[in-house]
Structure 1
């Protein structure tokens, strides 16, 4: 055991001595090997210099394949800053804002674009032989703030499909935000969840869908991130806001901007009569009529009366033949210039019944205001024969040339383009 331990210790000492000797030998030989290495390197450099030709001294151009060249294009400059950000305010003609339009109301879209200092974007909206709608945006909207102006006026279903496909096209084209501008929002009249089939005392109810909520859902699924509308039916009741789950909706109320224009139109009528009165033709317009009364009174600086017409449905006849509704006027309009405040005018029968009731009550003159003049069928001709002084409408829906001719000088059109464009300014860029 002792002998084995001694042997291991001796081997370690011998290895240590051998390592020290090797280190000393390397240290003594280092200068010589360094000089030899430097001499060899110098000789090789001199030999290479003697064999170098002037052609070899020219810089060589690296050979790059076509695929590599396509990948080595110069990097474009940084993205241009937002023009509105540079001025810290909305700048007309901002390239980050795009306005598109379908076939429903191109004239209104062009007027809105003109107020914003831009032109209506190029698009191709057409129909195939079987009626299918085809939509194509003919300019880039990548990273842009897009506004699509398209009221869902008659033909309602075709215009609605155009709107949905344009929203989808803008979303798939990588638009930064897509806002739907629907001056006339169709399908807002199907709000009742149930309706009686025979009478109010009958428990047999027919179920119906909430069409407005379904249309709102379709807009959201298509990609609409914001909605702008004008005087949604029923006016002043704020139902549309609850139909959208995650999309904000901005509603322009006619009572906030129309009375200023309306006051200039009816000012002469007020001077020729014993006063003014605002009349609601049915219960759903009563809130709107109140707002118009207050705004007109402030604009004309004169007191204005308020009246309403109550249309009572008749009891069902025993033989099932339809009977007309009774029309009752609540309020005094004798000797006054009356303004009927309507939301949607379709056939004009309700408005004509109200005009007859007001004339019978002694009104000196009757004028009509309507936010959305659909004028279906012979509505315009029927109103022209009803004995109205003026009919004032918004251009949320285009008025046909035949209807303009039927109404003649009685027709006055107020544009909503300034109000829509002002709201777009605020939505596009807000002063920081």
Structure 2
């Protein structure tokens, strides 16, 4: 058991044997369907070339062909933002989370103490900067600082969801570019590398002066959609706004080059959007709305309503990051969606579950990314 003043890490679930001869822990996936069949097909597992089960002992000792740095030891620590995801990552790698004490003082200040040595270790810190964004960001910075002062050989910040990612440019006079500021803070704290899933925009990667690996959550969702056996001739992929066309086009190509439709909207203000018209044909089709995140769900719900008006037989919503700010749950559970498919980059509280919600795990994806980084492998090559 790994304990702290904020949370308790449960013991790793029992390990299952896999084809490679190493061990892999089963990962929970919350679905509204019978999980037994779906979990065998998807369960967050990637249909990507070169992926296999891995085990930390094999990385460091048993695999004679491994290119892992022989002097390096890997340690994974979790912040309080998404402890379950971090536990799943560690379990997949046959490891336990590092022992860390994180607490809040009476005045709200964050206290972090590593409870084991990291001297000479390659440290991976799992902490999305999701709501409460400022608290989780500050916690990450202090975790990085603690590892740096404890003489870690390298520090990689695993940030499944990068908060402030939407503040990536000036849209009005005298605005801050908060994404750049956050990148500077993480760098100055002492991180050597950042890993994140589906940045809101490409320019955010360039704001860092350290190495950045962007991991794509798309294969996890695609794998699950393929398991549903929807005929390709019945599919149409829809971007809920013009800015997401490139993302939706890439998604459509992976779904047997499905046709593409675009919802044109006019945003009236922050967290308020208005759907105007549809570009493309969805009549009689199964429409798959694709976006990187769902915040208040105004954009994607209005888009779904428009698709129904235009004759779509069913509407699926697919996104990587489920921010779910109010009134997102009310909108998403209103009946306009056949299914809402998300990943667990951000934890979803149980009281926010609804019957159409499906949560897929990205733990395997991040575990494989850690393996590729530590073995000096190509992260981008995972997606080719």
Q: Same fold (TM over 0.5)?
A: yes
Cα pair 1:282 1:309 within 8 Å, conserved = yes
Cα pair 1:194 1:207 within 8 Å, conserved = no
Deviations 1:358-411 (A, max 9, x none): 00000000010011001112312221114210110011000111111xx12x21
Structure 2: gaps (5+ residues): 1-58, 378-384
| SS of 1:250 mapped into structure 2 | strand
Match of 1:264 among 204, 219, 227: 227
Shift of 1:313: 5.1
Whole-angstrom distance in 2 between the partners of 1:114 and 1:90: 22
Whole-angstrom distance in 2 between the partners of 1:86 and 1:232: 34
- Alignment match, 1:336: 285
- Alignment match, 2:248: 289
Shift of 1:261: 2.2
Change (3 A) 1:89 1:324: closer
- Alignment match, 1:239: 203
Change (3 A) 1:193 1:85: farther
- Alignment: residue pair count: 315
The structure with the largest alpha-carbon Rg is 1
Cα pair 2:128 2:345 within 8 Å, conserved = yes
Cα pair 2:265 2:273 within 8 Å, conserved = no
Structure 1: gaps (5+ residues): 1-81, 196-205, 298-302, 317-322
- Alignment match, 2:239: 280
Shift of 1:325: 3.4
Shift of 1:194: 3.8
Q: How does 1:150-161 map to 2 (within 5 A)?
A: 150-161=127-138
Deviations 1:90-123 (A, max 9, x none): 78xx981100001000000001111111101000
**Greater per-residue strand proportion:** 2
| SS of 2:113 mapped into structure 1 | strand
| SS of 1:341 mapped into structure 2 | strand
Change (3 A) 1:371 1:422: same
- Alignment match, 1:371: 320
Q: What is the RMSD of the two structures over their aligned residues, measured on CA atoms?
A: 2.2
Corresponding position: 1:310 with 2:269: no
| SS of 2:324 mapped into structure 1 | coil
TM-score by length of 2: 0.78
Deviations 1:3-46 (A, max 9, x none): xxxxxxxxxxxxxxxxxxxxxxxxxxxxxxxxxxxxxxxxxxxx
Higher RCO structure (Cα 8 Å, ≥6 apart): 2
**Greater per-residue helix proportion:** 1
Cα pair 1:229 1:250 within 8 Å, conserved = yes
TM-score by length of 1: 0.69
Match of 1:380 among 329, 332, 335: 329
